[in-house]
Structure 1
């Protein structure tokens, strides 16, 4: 049963991957995993590729980990808020959100973090991965009504089979997904944390573009 579920998950995560241009290798002290970036989210894709080239994520950590929800890394919300408060003359640089029905918060989704700004604009140096939870038809029906969206049959089936965090859809930008090594990310999601969701042991990561 477990083997069948793993195969199903691998097939779902592979859908559409081969059509995309850019792939990224994440290396952590728990192992490595691979991410594909969506070409139909060009602004976030290009910002992230430039960040890799310019070492924006040098010495980066996964610094917010919540089991069944998210693994987040880069500059922390608290640090961003402190930096921006200390230098109001620099403003609050953000990237306008990008939304597409093909990009949603299934398990393995790769997105850009943000604060509660009304424009839903993303931070320039914070990323997250969805590790998610089970999702029901009733939950998806309720979210369609609340958010005024319509899930495709593919999205609905994916949520029902592997789970995710659909309540984040159309509020946070998803611009890629894990297509290999998801078990590494799931292991990271289960590490021990303090009450602020910081891992008790530092989880470092590096990134590089691969073919």
Structure 2
């Protein structure tokens, strides 16, 4: 390691990490989505309070009423929440880019069939994997064999590591700029690589739990998204409606040829 890099690392300040623990209760919030193809009832997880409270706020405001399912991929998921699909869309910004909330990954919450999760931009422009403030998807997925789950594990680990490295690069660059230290892209990459090495040698690989493997081999889902997209609820009634929406014919952009709209939403229990 050259002296220039050693000096930069010495000058680089360590960011302060704030941790917040939120108590979990069993009194889950239930939400009803009345769509043009039928009703879907959702349970919101208390383990993801930021996403839960944000979703409740949007439900109570009536935001989703009139919004369409704009991205539907059979055997994968159905996605809605884009404000640009509303009749009064000109009053809303791009919710993937301008309205986001911090990720809330939880190893016990995964992408089984019926999982409710937050959409987001890719790691290249979103290294912190922040969630869209309004766009969500419901998993349809498929059933997997044990061998396919082993392959999915490898893909998950690759995505987690790519996302981690992108985050370290951004944090390194931002910290150097904040400290008034000039550094080339190559120097930032070298410092980030050192930090990434520490992460790789101290952090075990992601592993699907026995519960996850059982779910993915019996009811199905989309395991490749685990650990990189926030799951914050699940369908408790209306999986047949999810299947029905997922079976609709779509165009080249995965948009249903026949508009599928969320007609009404409401909290049915809190």
Q: Give the TM-score of the pair, scaled to structure 1.
A: 0.81
Structure 2 stretches of 5 or more lacking a match? 1-24, 158-204
1:136 counterpart = 2:136: no
Instruction: Give the alignment partner of residue 228 of structure 2, picking from 144, 160, 171.
Output: 171
Q: Aligned partners of 1:138 and 1:20: how far apart in 2? A: 37
- Supply the RMSD in Å over aligned alpha carbons: 2.4
1:168: Cα distance to partner? Answer: 0.5
Corresponding residue number in structure 2 for 1:186: 243
Within a 5 Å distance, the mapping from 1:45-124 to structure 2 comes to: 45-75=52-82, 83=93, 92-116=98-122, 117-124=126-133
In structure 1, the partner of 2:11 is none
For residues 44 and 206 of structure 2, the distance between their equivalents in structure 1, rounded to whole angstroms, comes to: 23
Give the structure 1 partner of residue 50 of structure 2: 43
Q: Distance between the aligned counterparts of 2:239 and 2:65, measured in 1?
A: 23
Give unpaired runs (5+ residues) of structure 1: 1-17, 85-90
The answer to whether the 8 Å contact 1:63/1:198 transfers is yes
SS of 2:208's equivalent?
A: coil
Q: 1:109 to 1:72 in 2, by over 3 A?
A: same
**In 2, are the aligned partners of 1:52 and 1:207 still within 8 Å (CA)?**
yes
**Counterpart-to-counterpart distance in 2, 1:169 and 1:133:** 15
Structure index of larger Rg: 2
Counterpart Cα distance in 1 of 2:153 and 2:252: 33
**Residue pair 2:29, 2:44 contacting (<8 A) in 1 also:** yes
Aligned residues: 187
